[in-house]
Amino acid sequence: MEALPTRKLCSTINDCKQTAATNCEGCSQSFCTKHFLEHRHLLSEEMNVIISEHSHLQHTFKQSIECDLHPFVKQIDEWEKESIVKIQQKAEKLRQELFQLISIRNNEILSILQQLSEDLNENRKNDNFIEMDLQQWKITLENLKTKLDSSSTTFSFDIHDDLPLVQNISIIFTIENELFEKVFDNIVQIKQYGQVAIHDTSYNYTEVRGKNEYTTGHHKIRLYIEQSADKWTFLGITSKSILLQKQSTNSKSSYGWANNNYFLLNGECQLNRSSPRIEMKTNDIITLIFDCDNHKIFMINERTNTKYELIVNINHCPFPWQFHVNLYEANSCIRILSA
Ligand SMILES: [Zn+2]
Ligand SMILES: [Zn+2]
């Protein structure tokens, strides 16, 4: 005789002795009707929490767009005010200096004119002059004319390029919101709004590209290696001008590191001869740093606590740079974490 299937009990934590009537596909637990409805109700409540968190986040985000509340706006305003005050103070000081110098010059001319007029009057009255005196007075008058000419070289501007009155500032923009955006072919799928890149079950090279463009400043991307078999996973950069390719690391613009202990420099794949090995194992967290200003990229493995550095030749890899991944292994998977 065939054995009857054993009676399965409801698996709710409330010690229910009822026979299980249905199975939840999501968590593989069996429930009686009453507790199945309760189970669904709990899941709905969790869903409601997620929806309300989402709308709260959306609201906060919209508010932040509406008003210019970025802390930098305040700093720029302060810099503007301080700079204007410095310029106004300097201009006032220069004006006062100029008025003083003009008044000194005017007094000088006035005094010469007075002396000269006394001289001339006196000597004419007494008819006391000869050619030599006339010549002297002519020279004195000529000199005075030159002094009165405002375009003369009495005053000039001295410009100090080396000592700026106002500090020149610029914003170093750090992009930390990288996402996967493009793939060469459908061997790799981009999932979860660009946060995950996952290779199919074949062994084939293909390129994945990030959405951002890096031209100036210092940028960080944190990655979680969800799946890797230590054969070939490449992380690094390439120039935006290079089209996506299957074997993208063959391009001269490719700079970065592969988990089989190779690095890519000036278009050449080179074995890492220094220790420790370049590793990107399953569950490793990798940070990539793009230092555009100094033409350098860095890779940090948080587990091994090692940092690798590459100097980028801008002729080979012109700006803007892009985050560049090349996957090969079956099921290999990388997730972008928030930095
Ligand atoms: Zn369930
Ligand atoms: Zn039950």
Total-model pTM: 0.62
| Half-sphere exposure of residue 18: CA atoms within 13 angstroms, side-chain side | 15
Which residues share a beta bridge with 290? 219, 297
Residue 127 falls inside a structural domain: no
Residue 275 falls inside a structural domain: yes
Render pLDDT for 208-255 as a digit per residue (tens, 0 to 9).
Answer: 999 999 998 888 999 999 999 989 999 999 999 999 999 999 999 999
Residue 55 falls inside a structural domain: no
For every residue of 231-272, DSSP letters joined together read: S-EEEEEEETTSPP-TTGGGSTT-EEEETTTEEEETTEEEE-
Residue 142 falls inside a structural domain: no
CA of 243 to the centre of ligand 2 (A): 59
Tens of pLDDT along the chain (339 residues) come to: 566 677 888 988 778 889 999 999 999 999 999 999 999 999 999 999 999 999 999 998 888 777 666 778 888 899 999 999 999 999 999 999 989 988 888 888 899 899 999 999 999 999 999 999 999 999 989 888 887 776 655 677 778 777 788 887 776 666 668 999 999 999 999 999 999 999 999 999 999 999 999 998 888 999 999 999 989 999 999 999 999 999 999 999 999 999 999 999 887 889 998 878 999 999 999 999 999 999 999 999 999 999 999 999 999 999 999 999 999 999 999 999 976
Give the domain CATH number at 297.
2.60.120.920
CA of 116 to the centre of ligand 2 (A): 122
CA of 104 to the centre of ligand 1 (A): 95
CA of 25 to the centre of ligand 2 (A): 17
Where would I find the H helices in 130-261? Answer: 131-148
Please give the tally of structural domains in the chain: 1
Residue 212 falls inside a structural domain: yes
Domain that holds residue 301: 174-337
CA of 46 to the centre of ligand 2 (A): 20
Residue 313 falls inside a structural domain: yes
From residue 103, alpha-carbon distances to 157, 158, 241 in Å are 18, 21, 64
Pick the ligand that lies closest to the CA of residue 12: 2
CA of 52 to the centre of ligand 2 (A): 30
Render pLDDT for 112-151 as a digit per residue (tens, 0 to 9).
Answer: 899 999 999 999 999 999 999 999 999 989 888 887 776 6
Residue 183 falls inside a structural domain: yes
CA of 13 to the centre of ligand 1 (A): 13
Residue 111 falls inside a structural domain: no
